[in-house]
Amino acid sequence: MNPFSHLLKAAGAHPPVGTWIMSASPLVAEATGHAGFDWAVLDMEHSPVDMMEVVQMLQALSATKMVPVVRVAWNDPAAIMKALDLGAYAIIVPLVNTAEEAAQAVAACRYPPVGMRSNGPVRAVHYGGADYVGKANDEIVVMAMIETKEGLANLEAICATKGLDAVYIGPADLSFALGLPPRGDNPDPLHIATCDKILATAHKAGIKCVMHCAGAAFASGAVKRGFDMVMLTSDLSCMIAGARQQLDDAGKAYGPVELGAMIEVPAAALCVESFLRHFDFVSIGTNDLIQYALAIDRADESVSHLYDPWHPAVLQLIARTIAAANRAGRGVAVCGEMAGDPLFTDLLLGMGLRSFSMHPTRIASIKQRVLRADTRRLAQVLPQVLEAEDCAAACADLMQVGSLTR
């Protein structure tokens, strides 16, 4: 008997708990299979998992007690049939909007005369036995995801689709459908009520309802509300949680990944305040910024002599970006040739820059200038440089009188 079909039919007071596998790694899948979950979904929609990796992970999971299910990327009969031939016990189809789409998914999972599945169970026949084809129509489980406005509007008709075994709630996309910010364990009353409506409609139609959860507390609540099966966390989330627990135990501080943006065109520099509302840091790419600010292609020999990092417009764009980032409390760095050119080090320090990105061979000379610089005095003379007609000469004159260094 299909072990997943058995899990689904036996779901009662203690709903089976599954997990999500996204790593595209047979080794990780096998390890997850020994963790104690009842079932797992190999996700082909929002992960890099392809069909070859699906078969490798199915093989790895065959040595464990965890039952594998495949979520295909789309309601594509060819993909569904191939996943089944490779050994999936059940199929989850995302973004099902109508009863017709649900019927198409069911047909792809059933052999004629009730469906359209082609006969070629390459691997499935090895675990399913010689009579696999004769039993598959009764035992392969088909689940339709309810996660769109159209799917909600057609909920009763979808649940009444002949041959459909269960509906699966995709909470993040369902949040979109309800006009709410996308999140997994959504506590919004509207989201909770909608999920309960899906559950009631599925049970009224005589099919099961599965709830996708991100955390144990939400999963426990879903069980109490009557959901037949719950999905809990993922392999990647488990790895991150495990690593963070080790760091906690070691007393090592860590934090979320920061998101930054490159400032390489004048438009971005002029609107940098808007960027800073969405990013943790910015990095100024001086090579491209100079080219776009001056409409100069430095690879074009006919105009490359006009490429000028000392141009007042360029310096003002850089100064403006650094100042805005510092006011907003965001990190700011400069990369490109200017960052590794000692002629610009004092000027950039005066603008408030504290992070330079350069070729390793330039670090020693730039470090010496940074160590000798008096950043307070640099900031005081900065306006004179930016307002000068010849910024390079003004900067050189100021350095000659010792105004910019200790």
Q: Which residues are catalytic?
A: 46
Task: State yes or no: cis peptide before 26, omega within 30 of 0.
Answer: no
State how far the Cα of 165 lies from the Cα of 307, in Å rounded to an integer.
67
| 321 closest CA partner among 309, 308, 335, 334 | 334
What DSSP character marks residue 62? T
Coil vs helix vs strand at 91: strand
User: What distances in angstroms separate CA 280 from CA 265, 277, 330, 351, one per listed residue?
Assistant: 19, 8, 6, 20
Matching residue, tokens 């909007």: 97
Element containing residue 90 per DSSP (H, E): strand 90-93
In the chain, the amino acid numbered 358 is M
Rg (CA), the chain: 30
Distance CA 96, CA 18 (A): 21
Distances (CA, A) of 257 to 233, 250, 276, 279: 19, 20, 16, 11
Backbone angles phi, psi at 168, to 5 degrees: -125, 125
CA separation for the pair 26, 219 (Å, rounded): 26
Secondary structure of residue 325 in the 3-state scheme: helix
Rounded to 5°, the CA angle 194-196-202 comes to: 105
DSSP letter at 208?
A: E
Can you tell me the distance from the alpha carbon of 168 to that of 4, in angstroms, rounded to the nearest whole number?
15
Sign of CA dihedral 261, 265, 266, 268: negative
Contacts of range 217-222, beta carbons closer than 8 Å, 24 or more positions apart: 217/185, 218/184, 218/185, 219/17, 222/195
d(CA 288, CA 170): 42
